[in-house]
Chains A and B, each alone.
Chain A
Amino acid sequence: DSGVTQTPKHLITATGQRVTLRCSPRSGDLSVYWYQQSLDQGLQFLIQYYNGEERAKGNILERFSAQQFPDLHSELNLSSLELGDSALYFCASTFSGQGNTEAFFGQGTRLTVV
């Protein structure tokens, strides 16, 4: 158990809909990262937050947004969903935002868009 909790584990929704994925980082970790894992794109970095502030952005679509709340949990909002958004979405956390620290991953949310 990594200590990172993601909910829900599975999500099935229709095209055009909006969903929210939730992540609770390990106790004491200040930084949260979101990744998308799909068969054709592999593991893609989406976005990083550190103590409530956005710190780095990757290949995140404009239809996607995220935030980190004062209690440090984070939510990833996906809107106007398309079939191609079907993927496994991982959240990871680290104590600091520095590049030499180990990231702890949650078990992911599997999103299926039908």
Chain B
Amino acid sequence: AQSVTQLGSHVSVSEGALVLLRCNYSSSVPPYLFWYVQYPNQGLQLLLKYTTGATLVKGINGFEAEFKKSETSFHLTKPSAHMSDAAEYFCAVNLSGGYNKLIFGAGTRLAVHP
């Protein structure tokens, strides 16, 4: 069965600093991988996704993630944090070829301080 592990339930960075949110997955078949963001009192919004092809994926708001099969990882990065990036971030995995059954990680709450 597939699963997702997000290392660090809370991450705090300074404005302008690099953001790195870690995600490792477990899947017996090639996965589809997603990062979603949740702002307070909001639903989840897709940041980016990996399905096939290029392993470095660019998303909205300057975020990107790299699929590394050998490390079973899909870490999310942003070169320079902005105050508006403060939110909760969820990594999710879905099985290729199957029906949609997104399995989410526990989430990482990102705090950005001046």
Contacts and interface: CB of A to CB of B under 8 A. Distances in A.
Contact of B107 (A42, A92, A104, A106): A42
A48 B106 CA distance: 20
B43 A100 contact: no
Interface string A71-112: 000000000000000000010101001111111111110000
Contact of A99 (B46, B100, B104, B105): B100
Interface residues of B, number: 27
Contacts of B107: 42-43
Interface stretch (B17-25, B61-69, B70-78, B91-99): B91-99
B106 A107 contact: no
Main SS of chain A's interface residues?
A: strand
Interface of B: 32, 34, 36, 41-46, 49, 51-52, 90, 94-107
Contacts of B49: 100, 102
A103 B46 CA distance: 8
Interface residues of A, number: 28
A99 B43 contact: no
Contacts of B45: 2, 105
Nearest to B48: A102
A33 B102 contact: yes
Contacts of B46: 102-104
Given A99-B32, A100-B94, A48 B101 contact: yes
A9 B52 CA distance: 37
B101 A99 contact: yes
Contacts of A66: none
Contacts of A55: 99
Contacts of B100: 31, 33, 48, 56, 94, 97-99, 101, 103
